[in-house]
Amino acid sequence: MALLDILVYPDPRLRRKAVPVTEFDDDLRTFANDMAETMYAAPGIGLAAIQVNDRRRVIVVDVSENHDDLQILVNPEIISSDGSAEYEEGCLSVPGVFAPVSRAEQIRVKGCDVDGSPVEFDADGLLAICIQHEIDHLNGKVFVDYLSRLKQDRIRKKLVKEYSNPAEQRPPLEDTAHGAPL
Ligand code: NI
């Protein structure tokens, strides 16, 4: 197990589009476990492979309170969606920033598990939000893209300033006023 480095917005590598996984091997299993470990350590409730500079279509999510409901989804897609819900989102690649985003309230998800077996299920609530957020990452999209141009510029400037010098004190990822980053 290893902790992976998480790319920080506006890193251009967050804009890359992930490619479908075709090899369900030990390397994929190790990588998915490392992603889960990285997500829990951050701490966050979701992580996409693109965020750790890997182009495979893999996401990990766990929205449970006790961190005991890990889902590893490979090649996930949303095959239907319904309703709309607004949630104050954060992101492990956009540390310290939270903003409301409107997404589908209910979704039906199709994909594979880490062994390549097909999975299909319905999700709602925070799980639905989180899966949509992570699939966006696989398509090179970050939640700040949904915000106004002005807000995007402010966030970009703030993070470039904070993260350009690695020796500088970084803001804590944990923010008790908000939920965990996605
Ligand atoms: Ni995110």
Is 176 a member of any domain? no
Is 137 a member of any domain? yes
Tokens (6 digits) for 63:
């929205």
Is 177 a member of any domain? no
Distance 9 CA to ligand 1 centre (A): 10
Is 22 a member of any domain? yes
- Residue numbers of the domain that contains 120: 12-166
Span 87-104, pLDDT tens digits: 999 999 999 999 999 999
- Residues sharing a CB contact under 8 Å with residue 79, sequence separation 6 or more, in sequence order: 108, 109, 110, 120
What's the chain's average pLDDT?
94
Is 110 a member of any domain? yes
Domain count, the chain: 1
> Quick one: pLDDT at residue 165?
66
Span 48-90, pLDDT tens digits: 999 999 999 999 999 999 999 999 999 999 999 999 999 999 9
Cβ contact 78:106 at 8 Å: no
Is 172 a member of any domain? no
Looking at this protein, which amino acid is placed at residue 163?
Y
Is 180 a member of any domain? no
- Report the alpha-carbon distance of residue 18 to residue 164 in Å, rounded: 26
Average of per-residue pLDDT across 43-50: 97
pLDDT of 17 strictly over 70: yes
Is 26 a member of any domain? yes
Distance 44 CA to ligand 1 centre (A): 9
Distance 182 CA to ligand 1 centre (A): 5
> Quick one: pLDDT at residue 28?
98
CATH of the domain at 142: 3.90.45.10
> Quick one: pLDDT at residue 26?
98
Average of per-residue pLDDT across 1-22: 96
